[in-house]
Homo-oligomer: A and B are copies of this chain.
């Protein structure tokens, strides 16, 4: 068996320990005579797995009791529709900070559905290389929430602050945050937010699962004529089991949470490791004239590091040689080109060391 280093932006690397445990339990889960995939979602065995996963997730992030944690399907993109349908059912407008492609999609979807939307701030003037400052945000009088993307996976732009804002009348505005690509990468204060959501396929587990945290007071605001499976209140009341949930993905997410707690030592330890990984790669980029990253230092993503070569004609050979060296999926997003190294939790520090060494060698030979 060979394992390579996988820098994919998502679906992304999973911890080897998690994959090995899943493998060992795949055909017969703990002597029960069946696979987790074959369990009724309402069986005692699966309910125990599901509840343990939620408890471990809550413990990792210190999720307060007045937040529901939902295990859903559809990806973060489904939330782009579910959010306004749940939060604007009684009027008001969605306010949006635009820092890249994902934030733009969240805004477009709310507009497509006919909801009132307002752009509260944007990094478009600087080419999405620095997030807008808190004091530049323009919140509308009818703001029902402020949506932002804490880490733009494609652009590699990460917020270095939480944009606490109020409406002109002084009323605090609930924050809604797409944390798909940096959730669980560091400790955070859940109570700063009204809704947090994240597709699983970066730091949580496999694709096909989406985690949503909703503060209790934001439940029950949906219009009555939205799809039942979109209604946070119904989903919360049914423990995310209005219908059959993605059981195996839920189980795998639970294994990832256990790995974070037991093998890594929690989110503070994970934070330190992620910081070292990012420092090593950005350090290598900054020390070189051959590699470059355009993002303002304070907003450089620790999870997704896009970089370009001084000579774009070398992109193809860079990627081919990296692949042969066991450094997989370094191609930049089709919309931006160049390279991108995603350094999610499951990407070990040795992977970054190997990448940095490869980059130095490549520059020496081809630069």
Contacts and interface: CB of A to CB of B under 8 A. Distances in A.
A206 interface: yes
Given A37-B14, A78-B227, A208-B248, A20 B27 contact: yes
A356 interface: no
Contacts of A13: 34, 38
Contact size range, A: 35 or more
A28 B43 contact: no
Interface in A187-225: 199, 201, 206-209, 224-225
A73 interface: yes
A247 B206 contact: yes
A356 to B, nearest CB: 19
A190 to B, nearest CB: 24
B208 A73 contact: yes
B31 A2 contact: yes
Given A2-B33, A43-B329, A328-B33, A11 B227 contact: no
Contact of A73 (B1, B32, B41, B75): B75
> Of residues A3, A14, A28, A206, which shows the largest number of chain B Cβ atoms within 10 Å of its Cβ?
A206
Nearest to A37: B206
Given A28-B2, A73-B74, A225-B114, A41 B246 contact: no
A26 B23 contact: yes
Contact of A228 (B81, B244, B245, B247): B81
A207 B35 contact: no
Nearest to A85: B227
Query: In the complex this chain forms, how many copies of it are found?
Result: 2
Nearest to A25: B23
A228 B266 CA distance: 37
A296 interface: no
Nearest to A208: B246
Contact of A244 (B4, B32, B75): B75
Given A11-B37, A20-B27, 10 more contacts: A8-B39, A9-B40, A12-B38, A13-B34, A13-B38, A40-B329, A73-B75, A77-B242, A80-B228, A207-B248
Interface of A: 1-4, 6, 8-14, 16, 19-20, 22-23, 26-28, 31-35, 37-43, 73-78, 80-81, 109, 112-114, 199, 201, 206-209, 224-229, 242-249, 252, 326, 328-329, 334
19 contacts: A2-B31, A10-B40, A10-B244, A11-B40, A12-B38, A14-B38, A19-B27, A23-B23, A37-B252, A40-B329, A41-B207, A74-B74, A76-B243, A77-B243, A78-B243, A109-B227, A112-B225, A201-B244, A249-B249
